[in-house]
Structure 1
Amino acid sequence: MLIDAIGAAFVLLGSGDAALWRIVQVSLTTCLLALLIATPVAVWLGYAIASRLFFGRRMVIWLTQVSLSLPTVLIGLLLYLVLSRPGPAGQLHWLFSQSGLVAGQVLIALPVLIAFTLAAVQAADPRLAETAITLGASHTRVMWTVLREVRFGVMAAIISGFGRVISEVGCAMMVGGNIAGETRTITTAIALETSKGEFAQGIALGVVLIAIALIINGGLLLLQGDAR
C-alpha cells in the first residue's frame, strides 16, 4: 500500500496537477511575502539589541529566546482572537484570508530572524565597529559594515525563518482556515489529505517540501563557498 501511494505521488507530481501546484504556489507566495516584511525589521532589531546597551537588554534577549519555543498553534490562537470579528483588529477582515496567513507567518518568523541576527552580530569582532566609528562612519554605515561582515549568519537566519514558516501547520490552520485555492498551504494540505486517507497527495507535497529545503540550503552552501 505504501509503495502504491509513493508511486501515485510521483505520478501526481509529473502530471502537473493544478490543485497540487496551486497549494505550492500559495505556500511559497505567502512565505516569501512574510519574510520580505519581517526580515528588514528583524535584522535591524537584532543588530540594535546586540550592539547597544540599554536598561532591560537581558530581559529582551531572554524573551526573544523564549519566543523561539512558542508553539505556532498558540501564536495562531492569539492572532485568531485579535483578528476575529469582536477582536481589536476584526475590522481588517483578515481572518481566513491570505493577509491573515501572512500576518501569522510574520509573527512566527520574527523571533527566529532576530535571535539568529543577534547571535551573528554578537559573534562579530567588536574591533570592526570600533574601527568604522574611529574613521568617522555614521551609525548607518557602521551597521551596514557589521552586517556585511556577518552576512552569512544573516542568510542563515533568513533560511531558518523560511524553514520555520513554510513547515508550520498550527497557525496556518487556525488563521488561514485551510481554504482550497486561497489559504491551503503544503503543511495544512498534508494534514487534511492524510486524515482523509489520501496519502498520494500528502506524499507528493512532502516531496516538494523536502525539495524546497534542499534547494534553499544548497544555495546557502554555494554562497558560503563550502560546496565544491
Structure 2
Amino acid sequence: MDLFIEGIIKAFEMIITGDREIYEITFTTLKVSLTAIMVSTVVGIPLGVLLGLRVFPGKKIVLVFVNIGMGLPPVVAGLYITMLLWRSGPLGHLGLLYTTQAIILAQILVSLPIIIGLTSSAFQQIDSKMLLQIKALGATKFQRLGLLLRETKLAIFAAIMAGLGRVLAEVGRQ
C-alpha cells in the first residue's frame, strides 16, 4: 500500500512541478486521440447516414462488418496496421511503423466502426412518417439532411463520444 501512496504523491509532484516528460506524453496522447477521432468523425458520419437512410444490395453484409468492427479487439487492429506498415507490407515503403501516425491509423480502425454503427442506428430509428412529411413539405435534399441531422444530433454526439472513449482507452496499446 505504501508503494501505491508513494506513486500517487510522486505523480502529483511531477504534475505540479511541470515535469516536461509528463506534459509531452499528455500532449502526444491528446494529439493522437483527437486526430483519430476527427478523421473517424469526418468519414464515419456520412457513411453512417448513408447506411441508415439508403437501401442497397449488400447493405446487411456491410452492417455485419461494421458491427464486427465495433467489437474489434485492439490487438487485432494493431496487428492489421503492423502487417500493412511492415517493410514487406503494402505500405511498408512509407516508413510509418512505430510512429504516432501508425497509432493514429490503429485508433481510426477501432473508432470508425463505432461512429458508423451508432450513426447508422440513429438514422434507422427515424420515424418513416417524419421522412414522408419532410418530403411532402417539399424540402430539398440538403434541407432534408439538415433536418435529419438536427433530429439525430444527440445520437451523433453520443457516437462521437463513444468513439473517443474507445480511442482514449486504447492509446498506445497497439
Q: What TM-score, normalized to structure 2?
A: 0.91
Identical residues among aligned pairs (%):
31
The equivalences for 1:20-169 within 5 A come to 20-169=22-171
Once the two structures are TM-superposed, the CA of residue 138 in structure 1 deviates from its matched residue by 3.1
In structure 1, list runs of 5 or more residues that go unmatched. 175-228
Kept in 2: contact 1:129–1:145 (CA 8 A): no
Kept in 1: contact 2:66–2:113 (CA 8 A): yes
Once the two structures are TM-superposed, the CA of residue 112 in structure 1 deviates from its matched residue by 0.7
AA aligned to 1:146 is: L
Cα separation, 1, equivalents of 2:93 and 2:133? 50
Cα separation, 2, equivalents of 1:15 and 1:21? 11
Cα separation, 2, equivalents of 1:95 and 1:20? 24
Cα separation, 2, equivalents of 1:13 and 1:27? 16
Q: What TM-score, normalized to structure 1?
A: 0.70
Could you say which residue in structure 2 is the equivalent of 1:15? Answer: 17
Cα separation, 2, equivalents of 1:116 and 1:173? 24
Kept in 1: contact 2:48–2:117 (CA 8 A): yes
Once the two structures are TM-superposed, the CA of residue 31 in structure 1 deviates from its matched residue by 1.1
Task: Report Cα offsets for 1:84-112 as digits up to 9, x if no partner.
Answer: 11111112221111222211111111011
AA aligned to 1:130 is: L
Kept in 2: contact 1:82–1:90 (CA 8 A): yes
Q: Which moved more, 1:68-77 or 1:54-63?
A: 54-63
Cα separation, 2, equivalents of 1:61 and 1:152? 21
Once the two structures are TM-superposed, the CA of residue 173 in structure 1 deviates from its matched residue by 4.2
AA aligned to 2:109 is: L
Q: Which moved more, 1:152-161 or 1:58-67?
A: 58-67
Once the two structures are TM-superposed, the CA of residue 132 in structure 1 deviates from its matched residue by 2.5
Cα separation, 2, equivalents of 1:126 and 1:62? 23
Kept in 1: contact 2:70–2:111 (CA 8 A): no
Kept in 2: contact 1:116–1:154 (CA 8 A): yes
Task: Report Cα offsets for 1:113-166 as digits up to 9, x if no partner.
Answer: 011111211222333332222233333332222111110110111111111011
Cα separation, 2, equivalents of 1:24 and 1:129? 45
Could you say which residue in structure 2 is the equivalent of 1:195? Answer: none
Cα separation, 2, equivalents of 1:113 and 1:151? 13
Cα separation, 2, equivalents of 1:87 and 1:68? 25
Kept in 1: contact 2:74–2:173 (CA 8 A): no
Q: Which moved more, 1:10-19 or 1:78-87?
A: 10-19
Considering only aligned residues, what root-mean-square deviation do their CA atoms show, in Å? 1.6
